[in-house]
Chain A
Amino acid sequence: MEKQQAGQQQADGPMRVLVTGGSGLVGRAIERVVKEGEGREGEEWIFLSSKEANLVSAEQTRAAFEKHRPTHVIHLAAMVGGLYRNMRQNLDFWRNNVHINDNVLNMSHEFGVVKVVSCLSTCVFPDKTKYPIDETMMHDGAPHDSNYGYAYAKRMIDVHNRALYQQYGRKYTAVIPTNMFGAHDNFNIEDGHVMPGLIHKTYLAKKEGKPLVVWGSGRALRQFIYSLDLARLFVWVLRNYDEVEPIIVSVSEEEELTVKDAVDAIVEGFGFKGEVIYDTSKSDGQIKKTANNGKLRRYLPDFKFTPFKEAVKETCDWFAANYETART
């Protein structure tokens, strides 16, 4: 009975949306798309950063929920970091993330939040798997050894969501983006992801008149999603997606690009004229992590992703204009 009641709950009046991790890559993108037209009359969007509340603390999380009384939550906050930091600190990644996630989900339930959309990642999927991966395969084996602390903590969001549904009828869900990039990314070359790292390197190579050295052969394949596209999809999921099972949010398999394709787009985006060297003494990482966007396309067959080169150009322009304040 309680399950049915909870499932039928609807917010009265416009949404009040709390976005945790609101100052990050995705949070800033959501803020922008909400301001530029995705927001609706009377809605309130509250973008929380770690300065306002340390979500590892149950008390601080509760205080944030008491203050803002959200009807909906987009949960982006996480302890994140690049490959090398993950490899050294799996315990911190596990513990901090499991506490952040539990605090947010538990407070959401306690405060009667109608809908929570959390953010997972394709890097939490099994290391040994067939491709393309889809939403049903998340728990079918161990994740890659390099970031298992972070990966398991993210997987446990799905477990928590299913348990909340089974016990209380809550329809809290999650999205699974592929490689995200855009303004306000972490452009640190050592600690960031491939796309922002390449952007930063190319910027420096142009400025210093040196060759661009790309780690690996350039042959690895990735599906890149622009943060503004992801933001639009997050807002759609928050409003319309009614499943508990997560949804992969990605360009399609045929739009997979090589790292070399990405490099070429960045070189073009910056007008870099120097030499590009592929350092094959560095690891390529996984050759592919192809994700199936079949479920997304069943819901949104007509959604248009921003063309890749256009998205890269916008991101390069943002980086060049904001070099002094960007996370590098």
Chain B
Amino acid sequence: MGSDTAPLSLNVPEPGCRPGDTPDFSDFEIPRAGEVGRPEVDVDPDSIREMAFSIVRVLNKEGDAVGDWAGALSVEELREGLRHMLTLRTFDARMQNAQRQGKTSFYMQHLGEEAVSCAFARALQPGDMNFPTYRQAGLLIASEYPMLTMMNQIYSNAEDPLAGRQLPIMYSSKEHGFFSISGNLGTQFVQSVGWAMASAISGDTKIATGWIGDGSTAENDFHAAMVFASTYKAPVVLNIVNNQWAISTFQGIARGGVGTFAARGHGFGIASLRVDGNDYLAVHAVAKWAAERARLGHGPTLIEHVTYRAGGHSTSDDPSAYRSKSEAAAWPLGDPIERLKQHLIKIGEWSEDRHAQAEAEILDTVISVQKQAEAVGTLAGGKAPSPRDMFEGVYETMPAHLIRQRQEAGY
């Protein structure tokens, strides 16, 4: 059979930079800080379509806070935000190391993404519920969840609130508005919409937030969440954390070569925008805007947090096998901690000395908490949860067959 057309070929997107290449982000369009205006919270999603193709930014290169989205936080709150981000980074570094020392089986860092969850948490109210992925521990840190409890979970020791049943970092705290983390990607995105629908059904004033990474937007539950959020106008803020990488897969495999992740909201009539994920002030301002929009019954918002996964995917990953080692340093939106620090120094509310002192104090605290947790036990030794515990909580009341199995196991 002859054909008049050339043979077809499959398009498989490739990142611009592989190991050994020089990173090049010159195609990455970044608007100036302050350039994207702040619409009213009851805005018609159709009228802000261009926001899904731009980036809300507050901090400029010089460290000034500029534009409509600036001014939402006091100096005290900014210093607190810096402390939360430093705490998360220090916590990460210590836990990453603890994994290398065999004290836990697994860990995942937030390096470079600290602003996203730390700033977002401060825009919510008590009673709101986050449906996080495994990379939003800043929601807990910034909600003053006890660090000791986090470490006990990571060490699966006798004080682990999840009784040793869950992989490290799969935290859960209803009290702190942090839904139980699951290993299955995307599932919680649609659950957040259901939680928000329940709040609306109940005539409540609480809102939900859904979280998903760039790679997981390809999961079916991303689509399901968008459909249900749109149909029922659910009071939910749907967050895509675009850190450019899904393990070894660059974001172009999930997205293709066109549009943005935020633009996916357009087809659903959801207010959709992008924010500089390394700009604490911008993330907080946008989160507050979306939360208020949801709380006032104006419907869901989709936020794409544009950031960069500076660390490995997990302790089981070596990113130098698939991307350039210098890529994180070349990332044009910089480092969230450095940028907030620069801003506070610029406005005369911080200094290099105070920063060094804060870093030292935080490190002391984390080490001291770590000692407490390790005194209870780690995966390598010490006090462990009872094996009896694995049979508990499968159902509210243990059925006969599980009682038999527990006895068979010797407990």
Are A and B co-members of a single complex? Answer: no
